[in-house]
């Protein structure tokens, strides 16, 4: 099972790198192995050319479950926060799409970027007429435990039914989750499309 | 014949996905097998990596003609509407090009996006000097039968000689058809180029 | 020799298609075989997936030199015009880069797009300090002989030392030539970069 | 060792070419072999399709260390300047990213482009909260020794702790270095992302 999962993460990372969303070793992808463990990309690898060895297994405290030469991604704590609070999340994909960073900067005072009645929100699971979907924007402290705490606070207290299955970290990038790796990829791609649409529309007005 | 057609649809879907027009499992491609049946991509697949099994055969009511594990695309009714009303249409390609969505939002009050004297309209079959070509914009109700009815009404009552072989669904994407899969791909690519040209031009003025 | 030349044109067409400059079967590539004959892509093929059979040999009147199932590109007359007037041109590449069309529309009254002191003009053969390079803009009549005549008139009467080895056809695309296929590709890529730079700069001012 | 290094440079050049940053034979990549020698791409090759033969070895005066049919890149002197002054630099990558040229033109009076609190600066080695990072802009005289002298003067006299490991040459492109080829690629990709972010943000304000 783990080999197939690694292959899926490698294929998805390659596809997302082709979109220019994983430049400069940025981004990280993970998938849950059990209630308390998950696979995650090792720190510092270029995500467009991952090998089967560029992964490790962590527990929900972000500690490797086995001896490994790899360091977990610096942002493993955000994956832990999401897995611990969203039981149905079985994969978390984080990318550095430049348009997500641009809309986060533009919309930071509002606290979220919103879309109404754009077809692509269906890929996020919103199928109703006139659906409005919000992508919340969270602060980006350099201290990772503080950043993870923002995610925890958001998931515990502010997450609402019209929110996308993801968060946009200020001037940083998007985290999206899903109940499969396939769904996490669909969500992160939909959010990339929507952020670009929103940014271009804001300039064309 | 069906195997070769599936291969063509897979190759074309892969090429259109490389352009970023089929993100997040969006889009669907179909090709007519007979007057009353057509092949179509199954619902929920990522169009950049279709396998030969990711297709099914439907009749013009959108019902699978054989038992199949697959669900037809949610938008199969739009393919049916086009095949039923345009006998020469033998393939229908639907993509989520972000620039098509942007111009639909910008031009919705006018009801169409127009190009005059842009060379690329020749790829849509307009060869005369000073040709003006319109891409009609149709509403996008979430209820698919209502959406299909808009396509039917347009094709029955409003389609005109200076209209492109396609429609732009509001904040959604383009449907284009052709008398071969090759022509459908040419049309959808030409419309993508033209929508981007129109959007950029509108901002640069 | 002809087989190697076909392979070069196929590889170059594939690379230019990856840039999005040959959508919807647009564009055409040719290379001289002798003083009076040249290889050219057949009409109506998708340039991103040319086979070795998708070429034919024409004379400088644009007539096939041998029986062939193919039609020469509709724009063969422009290739003839260039080969007849520029003896050192041994390849002519024509692409539909959207930014070339955008700057042609913006700069049509001036008759040319100009760059001064942009490093990429070196790829066009301009190495001096403060070099200014012009890309002339020519009209785009639908009647191909009239279009070819504009190219002839330009080459016979208006071409100047500070002009790029190419022309920009209004709302259409660029023709560039070189003394090898390698040089024609370098010129067409440099002009694509420069058109995008110019378009973006004009909007950002 | 040299064969593996050539393979790394070829792979990295291919990846950077896919991003559109090495059009028209532009750009050059090098990696140090010893304190006084380095491998560099030969002049005039298309960087998207380098062969193992498209490299040569130079000393820090830019002279080939062995007889070779190749000319070193015209800009070898800039690689020499960087290797001579930054002992820890073991690879230098130079690309023609159009957004780097655009921000250089916009920000030339300020002398640098700056980012504050954008996550991607971590890929350049800046990890502190509120980090500001500057990318200096240097003049682009056509005379290469004069251009190299600007790099020397910058490295000797103006380089500061909050400067990126790279320079942006006016209307030309970015040079970035690193203590491995992997780091040089990470730096050049991060700077490409940041230049695009800055350019888009400046237009969207």
Give DSSP secondary structure letters for B32-46.
ESSSSEEEEEBTT--
Beta strands A132-138 and A166-169 are: parallel
Q: For residue D127, give the chain A residue with the closest CA.
A: A142
Q: Are D177 and D187 in contact (CB under 8 A)?
A: yes
Q: How confident is the model over B29-49, as a mean pLDDT?
A: 96
Q: How many residues does chain C have?
A: 205
- Compute the nearest-CA separation of D182 from chain C (Å): 25
Chain-chain contact of C23 with B129 (C-beta, under 8 angstroms):
no
> 0.90 cut: is pTM over it?
yes
What per-residue confidence (pLDDT) applies to B204?
62
Where would I find the H helices in C48-119?
Answer: 76-85, 98-106
What per-residue confidence (pLDDT) applies to C1?
66
Chain-chain contact of A96 with D118 (C-beta, under 8 angstroms):
no
Chain-chain contact of C96 with B127 (C-beta, under 8 angstroms):
no
> Is the Cβ of B127 closer than 8 Å to some Cβ of chain C?
yes
Output the six-digit token pair for B196. 């981007």
What per-residue confidence (pLDDT) applies to B205?
46
> Is the Cβ of B123 closer than 8 Å to some Cβ of chain C?
yes
- What's chain D's average pLDDT? 96
Distance CA D20, CA C98 (A): 15
C and D: number of Cβ contacts within 8 A: 66
- Compute the nearest-CA separation of A196 from chain D (Å): 11
Instruction: Write the CB contacts of D153 (distance below 8 Å, at least 6 apart in sequence).
Output: none
Closest CA to C98 of C199, C29, C167: C199
Helix or strand (DSSP H, E) at A177: strand A173-178
> Is the Cβ of B204 closer than 8 Å to some Cβ of chain C?
yes
Q: What is the CA radius of gyration of chain D?
A: 16
Q: Identify the band that residue A204 occupies on the pLDDT scale cut at 50, 70 and 90.
A: low
Q: Is the pLDDT of residue B1 over 70?
A: no
> Is the Cβ of B106 closer than 8 Å to some Cβ of chain A?
yes
Q: How confident is the model over B38-60, as a mean pLDDT?
A: 95
A20, A25, A102: residue with CB nearest D123: A25
> HEC profile for chain D?
CHHHHHHHHHHHHHHHHHCCCCHHHCCEEEEECCCCEEEEEECCCCHHHCCCCCEEEEECCCCECCCCCCCECCCHHHHHHHHHHCCCCCEEEEECCHHHHHHHHHCCCCCEEEEECCHHHHHHCCCCCCCEEEEEEECCCCCHHHHHHHHHHHHHHHCCCCECCEEEECCCEEEEEECCHHHHHHHHHHHHHHHHHHHHHHHHC
Residues paired with A138 in a beta bridge: A169
Residues of B in contact with C202 (CB under 8 A): 204
Q: Is the pLDDT of residue B199 over 70?
A: yes
Q: Are C93 and C186 in contact (CB under 8 A)?
A: no
Output the six-digit token pair for A91. 């994969």
- Compute the nearest-CA separation of A48 from chain D (Å): 9
Distance CA A59, CA C204 (A): 48
Residues of D in contact with C182 (CB under 8 A): 46
Tens-digit pLDDT profile for residues A13-35: 999 999 999 999 999 999 999 99
C11, C190, C201: residue with CB nearest D102: C201
Tens-digit pLDDT profile for residues C138-196: 999 999 999 999 999 999 999 999 999 999 999 999 999 999 999 999 999 999 999 99
Chain A interface mutation, best of B17, B50, B171, highest count of A Cβ atoms under 10 Å: B171
Chain-chain contact of C117 with D48 (C-beta, under 8 angstroms):
no
CA distance readout (Å), A82 to A173, C189, C204, D184: 16, 45, 39, 33
Q: Identify the band that residue B71 occupies on the pLDDT scale cut at 50, 70 and 90.
A: confident
Q: What angle do CA B34, B38, B43 make, to 5 degrees?
A: 175
Give every residue of chain C whose pLDDT is below 70, as ranges.
1, 204-205
Residues of B in contact with A193 (CB under 8 A): 23-24, 26, 96, 98
Q: Is the pLDDT of residue D73 over 90?
A: no
Q: How confident is the model over B138-156, as a mean pLDDT?
A: 96
Distance CA C151, CA C62 (A): 15
CA distance readout (Å), C89 to A107, C80, C160, C178: 53, 11, 16, 5
> Is the Cβ of C116 closer than 8 Å to some Cβ of chain B?
no
Chain-chain contact of C24 with B193 (C-beta, under 8 angstroms):
yes
Q: Identify the band that residue A1 occupies on the pLDDT scale cut at 50, 70 and 90.
A: low
Residue B132, classed as helix, strand or coil, is strand
As a whole-number percent, the residues of chain D with pLDDT over 70 amount to 99
Q: Identify the band that residue D204 occupies on the pLDDT scale cut at 50, 70 and 90.
A: low
Distance CA D57, CA D36 (A): 10
Distance CA B118, CA C135 (A): 19
Q: Starting at the edge strand that comes first in sequence, how are the strands of the sheet with A55-59 ordered?
A: A55-59, A37-41, A28-32, A91-95, A173-178, A166-169, A132-138, A112-116
> Is the Cβ of D144 closer than 8 Å to some Cβ of chain A?
no
Q: Identify the band that residue D205 occupies on the pLDDT scale cut at 50, 70 and 90.
A: very low
- Compute the nearest-CA separation of D83 from chain A (Å): 22
Instruction: Write the CB contacts of C125 (distance below 8 Å, at least 6 apart in sequence).
Output: C165
Residues of D in contact with A140 (CB under 8 A): 117, 119
Subunits with 3+ C-beta pairs closer than 8 A to B:
A, C
Distance CA D171, CA D106 (A): 10
What per-residue confidence (pLDDT) applies to A19?
96
Residue C108, classed as helix, strand or coil, is coil
B131, B187, B204: residue with CB nearest C203: B204
Q: Is the pLDDT of residue B180 over 70?
A: yes
Instruction: Write the CB contacts of B86 (distance below 8 Å, at least 6 apart in sequence).
Output: B155, B177
Chain-chain contact of A196 with B169 (C-beta, under 8 angstroms):
no
Output the six-digit token pair for C102. 């955008």
> Is the Cβ of C105 closer than 8 Å to some Cβ of chain B?
yes
> Is the Cβ of A155 closer than 8 Å to some Cβ of chain B?
no
What per-residue confidence (pLDDT) applies to D185?
98
Residue C114, classed as helix, strand or coil, is strand
Residues of C in contact with D203 (CB under 8 A): 203-204
Tens-digit pLDDT profile for residues D123-152: 999 999 888 999 999 999 999 999 999 999
What per-residue confidence (pLDDT) applies to D16?
97
Q: Identify the band that residue D1 occupies on the pLDDT scale cut at 50, 70 and 90.
A: low
Q: What is the CA radius of gyration of chain A?
A: 16
Q: List, in sequence order, every beta strand (DSSP E) within C52-181.
A: 55-59, 91-95, 112-116, 132-138, 166-169, 173-178
Chain-chain contact of C186 with D98 (C-beta, under 8 angstroms):
no
């Amino acid at each position: 099972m783990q080999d197939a999962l690694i292959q899926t993460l490698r294929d998805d990372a390659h596809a997302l790198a082709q979109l220019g969303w994983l430049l400069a070793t940025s981004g990280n992808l993970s998938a849950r192995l059990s209630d308390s463990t998950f696979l995650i990309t090792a720190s510092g690898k270029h995500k467009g050319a991952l090998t089967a060895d560029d992964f490790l297994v962590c527990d929900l405290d972000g500690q490797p479950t086995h001896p490994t030469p790899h360091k977990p991604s610096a942002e493993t704590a955000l994956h832990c926060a999401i897995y611990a609070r969203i039981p149905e999340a079985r994969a978390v994909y984080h990318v550095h799409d430049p348009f997500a960073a641009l809309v986060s900067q533009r919309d930071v005072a509002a606290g979220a970027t919103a879309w109404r009645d754009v077809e692509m929100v269906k890929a996020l699971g919103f199928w109703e007429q006139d659906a409005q979907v919000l992508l919340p924007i969270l602060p980006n402290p350099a201290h990772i435990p503080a950043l993870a705490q923002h995610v925890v606070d958001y998931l515990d207290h502010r997450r609402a039914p019209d929110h996308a299955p993801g968060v946009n970290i200020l001037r940083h990038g998007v985290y999206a989750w899903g109940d499969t790796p396939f769904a996490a990829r669909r969500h992160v791609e939909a959010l990339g499309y929507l952020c670009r649409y929103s940014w271009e529309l804001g300039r064309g007005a």
